[in-house]
Amino acid sequence: GAVVSQHPSRVICKSGTSVKIECRSLDFQATTMFWYRQFPKQSLMLMATSNEGSKATYEQGVEKDKFLINHASLTLSTLTVTSAHPEDSSFYICSARFSGRYTDTQYFGPGTRLTVL
Amino acid sequence: AQSVTQPDIHITVSEGASLELRCNYSYGATPYLFWYVQSPGQGLQLLLKYFSGDTLVQGIKGFEAEFKRSQSSFNLRKPSVHWSDAAEYFCAVGPYNNNDMRFGAGTRLTVKP
């Protein structure tokens, strides 16, 4: 199947700093990528939909100025957590949408664990 | 509003035993249903999906799921579990284009030797 990578896999930062997470589709082009957040023992919560060449669409309750999303190319989307605080500590997962002739599937990255001290 | 409920947070089965993971959904339109598996440190892998047609769907790794509209359920089954099946399993519902998928809280599967 298609492969999606995330970098870094784990990051620890100090409160007040910004952290950038990259999501790449390695063997296909993705016009749409998604960013999810997953708290321990909880469901994946969709944060935003990232469309190549346009502004991201944020879910209700997600601060767009805090979680900056850039989808500059068909294979790369980035999520920047600005002025991170301990409550932003979470598992962030991206996915890339593959649209083929007979299928439309999301492929997920391995996730990035963010810990804010 | 669409939502997904996985009633079992954690299930333990013996290797070789059968498995059924429950999933109930609430969706206003025709649901498209998915099961994903997540191993530690890895991304979610699609096991199977239901869009339409035969309500019994076959997936990878010997898994199958049955869509029951009357019960709003999409339970995942496997006749004989292998130790490598130990992982977290997520049920999800969404539109065909996946643009608004909702995930259940997940069920952690432990396999006893």
Which residues of B fall within a CB distance of 8 Å from A95? 44
Mean pLDDT value across residues B71-99: 90
Query: Across chain A, which distance is largest between two alpha carbons, in Å?
Result: 46
* pLDDT tens track for A47-97: 999 888 888 999 999 999 999 999 888 899 999 999 999 999 999 999 998
Query: Quick check: B99 pLDDT over 70?
Result: no
Q: Which residues pair with B17 in a beta bridge?
A: none
What does the pLDDT average to over B24-34? 85
Res B35 pLDDT > 70: yes
For chain B, say whether A42 makes contact (Cβ under 8 Å). yes
pLDDT number for residue B56:
95
Which positions ≥6 away from B101 have C-beta within 8 Å? A34, A46, A106, B34, B92, B93, B94
| Site of tokens 């019960």 | B71
pLDDT of residue A22: 97
Q: How many CB atoms lie within 10 A of CB A102?
A: 4
pLDDT tier, B96 (very low <50, low <70, confident <90, very high otherwise): low
Name the minimum distance, in Å, from the CA of A106 to any CA of chain B.
Answer: 7
Any CB–CB contact under 8 A between A91 and chain B?
no
A11-26 confidence digits (pLDDT tens): 999 999 999 999 999 9
- Let me know the angle formed at the C-alpha of B58 by A31 and A28, rounded to the nearest 5 degrees: 20
Alpha-carbon gap, residue B73 to A66, rounded angstroms: 37
Q: Cβ B49–A109 below 8 Å, yes or no?
A: no
Residue of A37, A61, A53, A54 whose CA lies nearest to A113? A37
Confidence tier at A112 by pLDDT (50, 70, 90): very high
Does any CB of chain A come closer than 8 Å to the CB of residue B1?
Answer: no
Angstrom distance (rounded) from CA A65 to CA A113: 21
The alpha carbons of chain A give a radius of gyration, in whole angstroms, of 14
Average pLDDT over residues B43-63: 90
Q: Which residues of A19-56 are buried (b: 16+ CB within 10 A; e: fewer)?
A: bebbbbbeebebebbbbbbbeeeebbbbbbbbbbeeeb
Q: CA–CA separation, B55 vs B70, rounded Å?
A: 12
CA–CA gap between residue B20 and residue B36 (Å, rounded): 14
Inspect the interface and report whether the beta carbons of B104 and A111 lie closer than 8 Å. Answer: no
Rounded mean pLDDT, A97-102: 77
Question: Would the pLDDT of A101 be above 80?
Answer: no
